[in-house]
Amino acid sequence: MFRLFAVEDTVRIPPDKFGKPLDEVAREQIKIKYENMVDGELGYVILVVNVRIDPTGKVLPGDGSTYHKATFQLLTFYPQMHEVVEGEVVEITDFGAFVRIGAEDALLHISQVMDDFISYDERHGVLAGKESQRKLAKGDLVRARVIAVSFPRGGIGGKIGVTMRQPFLGKLEWIKEDVKKAKGEKANA
């Protein structure tokens, strides 16, 4: 889920940036501090927007920098537990696949791909079901459910786990096949 947060902070303008436009320098300093940060409350910070800076700053003793109050918004991606997401498979490995959802890659463990025995075909770069003959490859579009989210304390990284082992989840082509099959069974019943 994408969210927009309003934030107030104090931005430090170092002396070597004096003489440059205050708005540009402040935006640059705020982006350095916030963009690409991972936080348990905010999620994955993607972008800083709508920066407004108070032109009147303060100088603290022992520091030649000026400090200005700033208000801005943060565009963040915060995956919710049990949220259904769609994404593209960006990598296949022997232990599963990585799916790009929003601004991050989620791990789709091999045990969570489908209800079938799965083998990894390294030569072709696919995960294949033994009975179903279904294959998952890089570039496939999938629908999955978020089953694990962890945010690190240090602000870098984070992990998202997803599953496709539930009805009407999986590769989008598989879902279409399953819907047709379910409609056909209802018509025959």
Q: What is the CATH number of the domain that holds 24?
A: 3.30.1490.120
CATH number at residue 102: 2.40.50.140
Q: pLDDT tens per residue, the chain (189 residues)?
A: 889 999 999 999 999 999 999 999 999 999 999 998 888 888 889 999 999 999 999 998 888 899 999 999 999 999 999 999 999 999 999 999 999 998 889 999 999 999 999 999 999 999 999 999 999 999 999 999 999 999 876 656 679 999 999 989 999 999 999 898 888 776 565
pTM: predicted TM-score of the whole model, two decimal places: 0.79
Range of the structural domain that residue 62 is part of: 2-77
Domain boundary residue among 77, 101, 121? 77
> What is the C-alpha separation between 100 and 87, in angstroms, rounded?
5
In a domain, 188, yes or no: no
Structural contact between residues 134 and 171, judged by C-beta atoms closer than 8 angstroms: yes
Q: Are residues 46 and 106 in the same domain?
A: no
> What is the C-alpha separation between 97 and 119, in angstroms, rounded?
12
150-170 per-residue burial string, b: 16 or more CB within 10 A, e: under 16: ebeeeeeebebbbbbbeeebb
Q: Are residues 68 and 91 in the same domain?
A: no
